[in-house]
Structure 1
């Protein structure tokens, strides 16, 4: 197992690599770069006398890369690591991290064009029903979503996933970033530079998910085209069936966290007149 000193680390942080992973692969992995930059920036906020950890600040001292999964042979997909973050008193913070980077999710709302546009009663949301082996399910209902690659914008990634999972083409300009609209700048509140996104499992994973909204009026007969439609990239193992549900019932037909977060944001933004 090889190791190196993390560039620009103070104190010097040793990174122990797992077999099959090189220093260059790790340092160029987008999720690792975003995670380490965010962590180091947050640790720097302890310099302020008003910070609760100022008198005994925590420092990143070591990173053990425990496992790595590759996509398509050479592209890093996931990394499991253990970060040692402690203060000079020997007190440690939990540092087990499942590193996977950002994803995007979309709340797609369809409304029959034979009702008034300000009505909420006849709106439908599109869900993707698909196997999710990590939770032991072959039929998990959730918002259309996908992981981000190393290029493009969040909105561009969302538009791409919408087309792949529903067959619907949506321009980036027709997507509303609900998380960016709802959440204030984290740096103004805490001094930390977190993503304008929701974090589904901050106790164990770096994953962050911007939640987008697209609303579209369609002929009522066209709604049937999406109900039960088989979609997804079959060659990549995606087995997706589309499901239409009444928007007002969305909160009680899924256990998916990003879906529940999206409907909460949608309702909150509506109450404040932002959408």
Structure 2
């Protein structure tokens, strides 16, 4: 093991295990983003009204315990322990799994009944179906986990581009980025990625903030399709086999989504965002 100091945070020693280099850590965006966000949050304790102001906490050190590589050298995941304590030696839990942001897609399909001569239904009463994926999730101990389509964001941090790419890979649906609506951004404000006004926190839902840095913006895409096309989606096999993906699709009525996807945090977040924005007449 060896120790170095981050160029932007010279007072914080960072210990790394054998096989991992300083450059690999510094080039891993989830690590630099997490460190910047945390130190920004710690600095807010200088405000007299902050509850920790009388005895502020500081980040004393970071110990990277393990890592996973994507390919031969690019860091994919880091597991670390952050030592955060105050002058009274009171500490805060600091076990962290860093993997970076992901995106999730709420894809709603509306049957296009061309043979119906009546006036089209209002948006509030339209029949909607949502596409879910069913795939192995070893971390959850399941070979058939039902969830909203999702994918990790690449190193460039292009959220909309990643969403469009994942929709093509997992759903077989090719769309342009301009056809996506960022529900998280509509609710939380700001642009893609982090926002300065809330300390750099990501514009998305945090499924497990007690242990993981991952945040997930929820995108929406809505389109009309024929009922015949609608039937073709059910059970369709998708995914990149060379990446270990074994995905089948499941079509669910929008009204049943909260129940069918009740184990998936992304799904429940999407339902809450969409229904809240719908009440305000924004979607």
Aligned ranges 1:43-54 → 2 under 5 Å: 43-54=42-53
Deviations 1:65-112 (A, max 9, x none): 000011122221111000001111111111000110000000000001
CA contact (8 A) 1:121 1:248 kept: no
Structure 2 counterpart SS, 1:73: coil
Give the match for residue 20 of structure 1. Answer: 19
Give the match for residue 259 of structure 1. Answer: 267
Give the match for residue 87 of structure 1. Answer: 86
Aligned ranges 1:167-186 → 2 under 5 Å: 167-184=172-189
CA contact (8 A) 1:143 1:258 kept: yes
* Shift in alpha-carbon separation, 1:4–1:55, aligned structure 2, 3 A: same
Residues in 2 aligned to 1:158 and 1:184: alpha-carbon distance in whole angstroms: 19
Aligned ranges 1:175-214 → 2 under 5 Å: 175-184=180-189, 188=197, 191-214=198-221
Residues in 1 aligned to 2:214 and 2:68: alpha-carbon distance in whole angstroms: 16
Q: Which moved more, 1:261-270 or 1:42-51?
A: 42-51
Residues in 1 aligned to 2:47 and 2:243: alpha-carbon distance in whole angstroms: 48
Question: Could you tell me the TM-score, scaled by structure 1's length?
Answer: 0.95
Q: CA RMSD in A?
A: 1.5
Given candidates 258, 270, 274, the residue that maps to 2:278 is 270
Residues in 2 aligned to 1:246 and 1:120: alpha-carbon distance in whole angstroms: 13
Given candidates 138, 143, 148, the residue that maps to 1:143 is 148
Give the match for residue 2 of structure 1. Answer: 2
The answer as to 2:44 corresponding to 1:36 is no
Moved over 3 A (4+): 184-188
The answer as to 2:232 corresponding to 1:225 is yes
The answer as to 2:159 corresponding to 1:154 is yes
Deviations 1:119-140 (A, max 9, x none): 5452100001000000110000
Give the match for residue 62 of structure 1. Answer: 61
Q: Per-residue deviation at 1:177?
A: 0.6
Residues in 1 aligned to 2:61 and 2:79: alpha-carbon distance in whole angstroms: 14
CA contact (8 A) 2:14 2:63 kept: yes
Question: Could you tell me the TM-score, scaled by structure 2's length?
Answer: 0.92
CA contact (8 A) 2:183 2:220 kept: yes
Give the match for residue 130 of structure 1. Answer: 135
Give the match for residue 223 of structure 2. Answer: 216
Residues in 1 aligned to 2:50 and 2:196: alpha-carbon distance in whole angstroms: 14
CA contact (8 A) 2:105 2:220 kept: yes
